Chain A
Amino acid sequence: MQSSNERINELICRTCLHLDQENFDDYLKLFTEEMNYRVVTFSPELKKDMVWLDHDLSEMKHLFKMLPQHVKMPGKFFRQAAVYTIEKSKQKWNSTTSFLLIYTDLDGQSRVFAAGRYNDEIVEHDQKLLISKREVHLDTRDLAPGIHVPI
């Protein structure tokens, strides 16, 4: 029997695996119906926090549906994640995961595309652990051309 921490670790790793493999349907199954996904970063130029993406489930579904029609960076993205902390409060867990997003171009060259942390809120639903909130906190602010998929 896995501990809740092991299950949370596995859940977070699965979000990375599904995104890496562009299994977007399976990715979204790891979130609750009321999910919220945000990408945030701090601007030292403005001395302010910025929100670069703020989506609910329906917006995430539209985003994935329209992807094939967009001109995207060619090549592959790969996420290297390490869960640093998991804290339980009432019926929720909050976790902090450090990640690197690695981009491999069509010629096979890899480089770090982005660095940051996933701050997740996790709940149990029908004996399954699901992410109810993911805040991607980016350290990297120059995302090269830009990215069409969640980080």
Chain B
Amino acid sequence: MKKYAYVGPILFLLIWAAITGFHLVNAFFLPSPVAVFGKLLKIFSDGGIFPDIFATLFRISVSFIVAAGIGLPAGLLLGGFEKAYRSLEFIIDFCRSLAPLAVFPLFMIVFGIGDASKIAVAAISSSVVIIFNVAYGVMHSKKSRILAAQIMGASRLQIFRSVIFWESLPQIFVGIRNAIAWIVLIIIAAEMFVGTNVGLGHRIIDFQITYDLPGMYAAIFLTGVLGYVLNAIFALAERRIVHWSGK
């Protein structure tokens, strides 16, 4: 089946090349693939894009570490004490539903306009996603294995460590992958605001202001690659760790 994976992208490039080749739309709005990938090559070969990639990756990584650092323990704990989770359920659901960028101006006042506010928004709003999924995974883990451990005389802590944690691992991964997607979205968007001169989001706006559309497409493409690669890494980790899934 893997070989079919190439069909879509190749078809996409062909159609794109045809549209620009036959001048079906204004070349200003849609530059040719050659122009876009030429630009991409250029910003890599002159090294101009690296600071942006590193800055964005740095913000994403720190946000993720903070989000996981808050979300995993909090989710495991809240899931383990269902009454606590039920008490906070409304708040968690509300925060989950709140558009993260709505609090960005507030965070800028509190954390300043630099990286701290961007990271704080991304980390805090995605930690809620992790908390929700992890707690859900803990609370909905299958009862039969927990019962079996209880029968063996295991303590609550032993049951949590040896059964419930593992039982909820697939759902923990759902939370982590959702969180990464959120973080990429928030960081890229936040970089378009103020307070930074580097970052892929900033680059997109920069190219837009100078009407460099091949550059803009190239930066958008890079943003996509970044999100895709991050997701692929966690998907791989999940397949490795949750080797029993679906079996």
Q: State yes or no: do A and B come from one complex.
A: no
